Amino acid sequence: MNKVPMTARGAEQLREELRHRKSELRPQIIAAIDEARKQGDLKENAEYQAAREQHGFNEGRIQEIESKLSSAQVIDVTKMAASGRIIFGVTVDLADVETGEELRYQIVGEDEADAKNGLISVNSPIARALIGKNEGDVAQVAAPAGVRELEIVKVHYI
């Protein structure tokens, strides 16, 4: 089974979602199914059908989270030596060579990615161009508008 890289924060968020779905959401859905069942004919009972659908979705998500956690390789960059080299989990300050625009990204796992909040997937074009580079290097990123050059200003192991 392939290991999936994940930050400690991302793993904790998944564990919390799993706990919520199992201990809070599951009992609520089961209670809703029981209540709808008491209303009679199940074939024409919209509340029952909706509760069963919600139950199926919740159980599917529980299985998905458990699978992700079982194959997770949790990486905590705060426990690694700060060498200035870009690896999974680091936060990087960048400067666009052409425009001077300053950017800050943290390289995270697929499930944690949220570009609007500066969290980019390890599989994104920017992350792939940055991995293995050092402070002071210039990375060339293939973008829809052409190749973009990003200077690596600072690498943070936070």
Domains of the chain: 4-75 (1.10.287.180), 77-156 (3.10.50.30)
106 neighbors 116 (Cβ within 8 angstroms): no
- Average pLDDT (47-68) is 94
Contact residues for 113 (Cβ-Cβ < 8 A; gap 6+) = 119, 120, 121, 124
Give dist(CA 68, CA 7) in Å, integer. 13
pLDDT tens, position by position, 20-37: 999 999 999 999 999 888
pLDDT tens, position by position, 146-158: 899 999 999 999 8
Give dist(CA 155, CA 87) in Å, integer. 9
Tell which residue, 5, 12, 152, has the closest CA to residue 91.
Answer: 152
- Give DSSP secondary structure letters for 51-104: HHHHHHHHHHHHHHHHHHHHTEEEE-GGGS---SB--TT-EEEEEETTT--EEE
Tell which residue, 117, 115, 106, 114, has the closest CA to residue 156.
Answer: 106
pLDDT of the residue at 1: 61
pTM higher than the cut 0.85: no
